[in-house]
Chain A
Amino acid sequence: MAVDGILQAAAQYRQSLGGRVHEAIVERTFEEAERIAERAVVREGEARKFALDLALDRVLTSRVWGLPVMGLMLAAVLWITVTGANVPSAMLNDLLIGQGHPWLLSMFGSMGSPSWVTGFFVDGVYLATAWVISVMLPPMAIFFPLFTLLEDYGYLPRVSFNLDRAFRWAGAEGKQSLTMMMGFGCNAAGIVSTRIISSPRERLIAILTNNFSICNGRWPTLILIGTIFVAATAPPAFAGLVAAGSVLVIAVLGVLMTLLVSRVLSRTILKGEPSHFSLELPPYRPPQIGKVIVRSVFDRTLIVLWRAVVMAAPAGALIWITSNIIVGGDSLAGHFVGWLDPFGVALGLNGVILAAYVFAIPANEIIVPTILMLTLNVARSTMAQQGVMLELDQTATRDVLVNHGGWTLLTGVNLMLFSLLHNPCSTTLMTIYKETKSWKWTLWSALMPIGIGFAVCGLVALVWRLVT
């Protein structure tokens, strides 16, 4: 073929030119760039140039201080979120559930609607949606702007810089730390961002491990469980700190899992040497605070909330339906939960939690409301009439889980672990398939974290029960 002829000719020329064509061309390009830039740039006040940036970088990317400062910053952001969200969360809860729910019930009642319609819409769809809004909106409205401020200021690449050595240890490319940071917002976005990684091997490692970055949908779950279970063990004065600390531990554990799994992958099924890359540290730019707030509210908070609401409403309806279809003495949901229960309990979780993770495959956001609804509906005969659903603020949520779900501190801790270590949501899985074009790797990225999650939770439960 003629094309092969061209390629052969090119190869011959390349040889006769000594194989340094690429270097020669790149060199010439940079020489020209330098020459032109020199003529165009008139510099003044060289001394004060980037002085503040340099001073900041000396601390933020220092070998000694870089990592501790990073941990402190994340802890501070989490603490502000946990403590700041309490009051607005309680207010929204009172408005939507304390007042809105009875009002809707009486509305439906006065219109003479049949009890199954009221149950389906008011107890199923409305309660699930109201719960998602009152519990998830306040922390997101605080957490996302703070996170975006750090991003806008130019901190994220510094985090990557700090983690670069760790990723080299893991046999992965340093740029994976950037895609990991993206995953902290949304795993689907994180997986798309792996396109910056040039080697297919390293890109696959980054894709398979992105799920270990806590995403938007999981932060609220962790913050809530950390607040009502882990922090409850501490004196009230330290509750906020303990809650933030427990979430931080899970986030850091996620980073460690990313590194560990990357290392294992790069030594086994994805063997190879890590390639080099250069990372540009952008200048610190004063964030445009107004814009950041508007953007993080519209681009992140509302999108995540909308996704949660859109998913929560049908999930609520589905749970209500499956809880009300009685087959052989128990509801469908009851059968499903009962079937999963022995396995769940062995893992230090329970059947309701495992069932909830099945219902919540479309969106991680709805895990806790799904768990609550299942817990209440499965034990419906004694519960719904007591009107427990009417006031599900944080304390009541805890009461429901402890008294009716049989939760212990172990369940809370293991739910936090399982929240980190389970399959990605369906959107993320679709994205993985689109990026890898391989069902095999998509399946891998779903089953690997679940397997790890089962192992870790089972081990924790085993040790916990031996010790206590």
Chain B
Amino acid sequence: MQELKQVPKACDACGSCSAGDRIVPMRRIEGSDYVIALAGNPNTGKSTVFNALTGMRQHVGNWAGKTVVREEGAYKFRDKTYRLVDLPGTYSLLSNSVDEEIARDFVLFGRPDCTVVVVDATALERNLALVLQILEITDRVVVALNLMDEAERHGIKIDDRALARDLGVPVVPMSARSKKGLLELAATVADVVEGQVALRPHRIAHLDPELDKAVVSLVREIEKEHPGIQNARWIALRLLEGDVGVENELRSGTLGKPVHGTLSLAGGQ
């Protein structure tokens, strides 16, 4: 992992990095300063990242769909406590099934201070679709480019700086299995939640002017109905797609409510 060390990290720029940085897993989740969501495609090593940061021993399996409930843990970094929520692995946020819904709802309404999207470096293209969907919802995203060791073994090299530039959010290359890149990840997350990093999330331009007009008008209606609602654009797009789940939630009013904190039922098995 020589290369990893040469890559300038987001924290280099701010100069606050010190050699003494340490991730301290926490046994108990009491009050936390920040809430971090951990999202990603299935089988990209989310649970491994989660365990490495929180010191928990959640069962890790080499198959897609292992995590179907939300797991929570916590760690301390630079005197701040981070509550980490491990979401079920999903390919999209389209709420086709219960696990996708759990992941989507938390990113949407849980209002995490930062969402870490764990990405499989050996299958970047497929994984980026979810990253782009999450970037539609929130700016505060860090991409954890995991499984770098496996990519290397298969002769794949990734220009993570170009990737960060294109996505407009920090990208941290890592190999969570061998605990490489964890400090960099924690430092980058810390910088993002404290507003030390300029985020210019890539938004997909939908070139159809008709669609654009529809979105603008719907956004206005939604904001009138639910003043102060976030992600009105995202909701408008889902309504135009005919997403039944979002329609129902809008009807029942759950979409309008922020649920930060109330979603904290730690899912045990």
Please report A residues at the B interface, Cβ cutoff 8 Å: 2-7, 9-11, 13-14, 16-17, 19, 21-22, 24-25, 28-30, 32-34, 36-46, 48-50, 151-154, 156-157, 175, 178, 186, 188-189, 192-193, 195-198, 279-280, 282-283, 285, 288, 295, 298-299
Contacts and interface: CB of A to CB of B under 8 A. Distances in A.
Interface stretch (B20-28, B74-82, B186-194, B209-217): B209-217
A295 B59 contact: yes
Contacts of A33: 125-126, 128-129, 131-132
A205 to B, nearest CB: 15
Contact of A198 (B96, B208, B240, B250): B96
B129 A285 contact: no
Instruction: State the 3 A-B residue pairs at the shortest beta-carbon distance, nearest first.
Output: A45-B155, A198-B97, A37-B125
Given A6-B225, A42-B157, A22 B64 contact: no
Contacts of A178: 63, 65
Interface string B52-73: 0000010111111110110000
Contact of A25 (B97, B98, B122, B241): B241
Nearest to A44: B155
A49 B202 CA distance: 31
B242 interface: yes
Contact of A40 (B163, B214, B269): B163
Given A25-B241, A32-B132, A195-B98, A285 B125 contact: no
B36 to A, nearest CB: 23
B12 interface: no
B5 interface: no
Contacts of A2: 221, 224-225
A169 B16 CA distance: 60
B62 A153 contact: yes
B173 to A, nearest CB: 11
**Chain B: interface size category:** 35 or more
B63 A7 contact: no
B147 to A, nearest CB: 9
A41 B160 CA distance: 9
Contact of B211 (A6, A21, A152, A153): A21
Nearest to A154: B62
B199 interface: no
A198 to B, nearest CB: 4
B65 A193 contact: yes
B71 to A, nearest CB: 12
Contacts of B204: 25, 28-29, 32
A175 B43 contact: no
Most buried by B among A28, A41, A154, A188: A41
Most buried by B among A37, A42, A43, A151: A37
Given A3-B251, A157-B64, A193-B65, A42 B217 contact: no
Given A25-B241, A29-B133, A189 B269 contact: yes
A6 B221 contact: yes
B242 A40 contact: no
B201 interface: no
B61 A156 contact: yes
A299 B59 contact: yes
12 contacts: A6-B218, A16-B210, A19-B242, A21-B241, A32-B128, A33-B132, A34-B125, A40-B162, A42-B158, A44-B156, A192-B69, A196-B65
Contacts of A44: 155-157
Contacts of A25: 204, 206, 237, 241
A344 B61 CA distance: 41
Contact of A24 (B62, B167, B208): B208
B64 to A, nearest CB: 5
A196 B155 contact: no
B240 A21 contact: yes
A157 B66 CA distance: 11
Contacts of B163: 36, 39-40
Nearest to A181: B63
Contact of A37 (B57, B124, B236): B124
Most buried by B among A36, A38, A44, A198: A36
Interface string B154-190: 1111111011001100000000010000000000000
Nearest to B65: A196
Contacts of B218: 6, 9-10, 13
A50 B154 contact: yes
Contact of B155 (A10, A48, A279): A48
A295 B57 contact: yes
B40 interface: no
B100 to A, nearest CB: 8
A231 B88 CA distance: 44
B33 interface: no
A196 B222 contact: no
Given A39-B162, A40-B162, A192-B69, 18 more contacts: A13-B214, A13-B217, A17-B240, A21-B211, A29-B204, A33-B128, A37-B128, A40-B124, A40-B159, A45-B154, A48-B155, A49-B155, A152-B61, A156-B63, A178-B63, A192-B68, A195-B97, A282-B64
Contact of B42 (A40, A280, A295): A280
Nearest to B206: A28
Contacts of A198: 96-98
Contacts of A14: 239-242
Nearest to A40: B163
Contacts of B208: 17, 24
Interface string B112-123: 000000000010
A5 B222 CA distance: 10
A19 B126 CA distance: 25
B240 to A, nearest CB: 5
A340 B210 CA distance: 74
B78 to A, nearest CB: 29
A41 B156 CA distance: 7
B124 A41 contact: yes
B150 A285 contact: yes
